[in-house]
Copies of this chain bind each other. A is one copy, B any other.
């Protein structure tokens, strides 16, 4: 470990390439989903495929880098909502934001659903999930992983079906309230 933040410093050109790859990936993912061609991403970033693989050994590593900002935002929002006097309303709003992030790029719900890469306990990913768990436990009597899993599942299925702008909200309500017997 090379410095106190745990992040080994990169040579200037390496850092530049890393940023270029992330930016190119963000555009490609927005256009074609997270399964966009990595060859295209590398070309758009102006680097060779080997450079892309050096920085991001797996596709999921690259996806995580692209959604980094979204995870930080989920963390920030979660901390803010912990001050909300209504725990259930706060949780609902956070889950809405979580589902929105899960729907940002086609196929990205898979990454949100997967367990966070271990190693850094202070990663945006871990921080966001932790504050989510706190909001869940504060509001309802349920397992935090189950609640988050079902929220990711809602984002996934919504992306599979013909567009319906109301569906995400309906399914979230169904998840929170359950189905009412006739």
Contact = CB atoms under 8 A, between A and B. Distances in A.
Interface of A: 87-88, 110, 113-115, 138-143, 146-147, 149-150, 152-154, 156-157, 160-162, 167, 170-171, 174-182
Contacts of A152: 157
Secondary structure type dominating chain A contacts: helix
A154 B113 CA distance: 12
Nearest to A177: B178
Contact of A139 (B110, B114, B156, B181): B181
Contact of A149 (B140, B141, B157): B157
Given A113-B157, A156-B156, A157-B113, A150 B178 contact: no
A153 B152 CA distance: 9
